Structure 1
């Protein structure tokens, strides 16, 4: 009887099972969250204080709350112009990244042709190429194309550097769609583009939201590229506006914190609202 029971039980691996529900795990998660969120909270709260209050007690709370800093930033025409420029560039980048990335990932996932895996490897190598290393040749190329001081000078390079990650995330989702669905769509008279639009895109929604949010946030927070290619003040984005405001009002620490809070607010809200979709998209990419 003992031998029969032992034959049914799985062999022991000799490794201790790790429980991810322990208090230590939650403590580490809370510590990491605190380190990530604390600077954001400090900047937002600092905008409700005065500069003398910050100098006297850097870690204190507003007493009383001062709304003048935010009101002063919101009444500046430069802020709204920079917000408009950031929105145009970020939305243009996001739209181009999603459309081009979806098209490329669909071909790499659903078509069979010679050199497909080599082409996919070529795209993934883009993840190893830092954007900062290409700034000088990129600037020279944009100058020769007469794109300096235009939205395209920022949108096109951002799209190029965002496509590798986009394809890496989208391809597993599109590959996981059963071939039977594509055959059924073809029997109903749907073309390849019809299958992509009516079947593949709805099923890949978490991945599309993920790549869209990542592209939007990266574009909104971009600083180095706009700094080099946008010398016209009327085309400056909010990250450049933060730098200009900080240089102009070096002694107004509270005003700088208020400007910074308002500049990062859209990206934070956009990322927070799509958090669940982002997690689902990344999980699907890892499983694929």
Structure 2
């Protein structure tokens, strides 16, 4: 088939991809450019380029101590949450993927049903549990529930990848004297780097964007994460739309940069887990 024929055959796909790109890119571009305007420019020329370009909104946010405190809080919570969920899910997925025992599929389905359990339903009992354990006003009160709710999807992805690894590799490792724990740490995990990168990206971005749980657990402004900071900033400067757009854009930027760098690993991990074996 000629290149023109291939293009015509995929015209519908290209149109759908273009429309989707517009839906995603236009709001981000609007927020980015809006942060370089003042409120009068937003009223008179909301969709045009800034004229003149005003960097004051961004510099005011970057010079704010509270903004950087929220950034560090979000980074710390996201990194610890990601480490816990990936480490725990990898061990559970390894058992589900490489060992046969009675009730295995039932337990796996029990974990899988966790994806259908909305977090909002668990807010009240979770709040009571955290209060009983003394984890309110404590970052661990955010980290542990985030890790728990991230386990189902992470286990499903890793189990699929672990099952695709040939059993001959495990048999060879066993013959060489490697026990299950050594095989898991020194052979299986290095081979599963694409899948581990995938679930790490998903867990990190989910933690970074989490709003409801930190709002319930963290009342001290010094412990707030960026999603709470965006809400607080929007209320404080409700009439200064340009400054709010600048804050929102800077709050989104770390996650966008990380996702951009990790996109290749995310796609390769998902596709490898779905096509092997």
TM-score (norm 1): 0.91
| Aligned mate of 2:190, from 180, 193, 202 | 202
Unaligned runs of 5+ in 1: 1-17
CA contact (8 A) 2:62 2:68 kept: yes
**Could you give the per-residue CA deviations for residues 50-106 of structure 1, whole angstroms, max 9, x where no partner exists?**
111101121121112211111100000000111011011100110001100100000
Q: Which runs of structure 1 show a deviation greater than 4 angstroms over 4 or more consecutive aligned residues?
A: 18-21
Distance 1:20 1:286 in 2: 29
1:122 — aligned with what? 110
Distance 2:34 2:217 in 1: 32
Tell me the C-alpha RMSD between the 2 structures: 1.5
Distance 2:184 2:46 in 1: 54
2:84 — aligned with what? 96
CA contact (8 A) 1:85 1:237 kept: yes
Aligned length: 271
2:3 — aligned with what? none
- Which structure has the larger Rg? 1
**Residue 168 (structure 2) pairs with residue 168 (structure 1):** no
**Could you give the per-residue CA deviations for residues 193-220 of structure 1, whole angstroms, max 9, x where no partner exists?**
2111222112211111111111100100
Name the structure with the higher helix share: 2
Mapping of residues 49-128 of structure 1, within 5 Å: 49-128=37-116
Mapping of residues 20-35 of structure 1, within 5 Å: 21-35=9-23
**Residue 255 (structure 2) pairs with residue 278 (structure 1):** no
Deviation at 1:20, TM superposition (A): 9.0
Distance 1:185 1:241 in 2: 50
Distance 1:170 1:194 in 2: 18
**Residue 240 (structure 2) pairs with residue 252 (structure 1):** yes
Distance 2:43 2:141 in 1: 40
Distance 1:280 1:123 in 2: 24
Distance 1:216 1:114 in 2: 34
2:143 — aligned with what? 155
TM-score (norm 2): 0.94
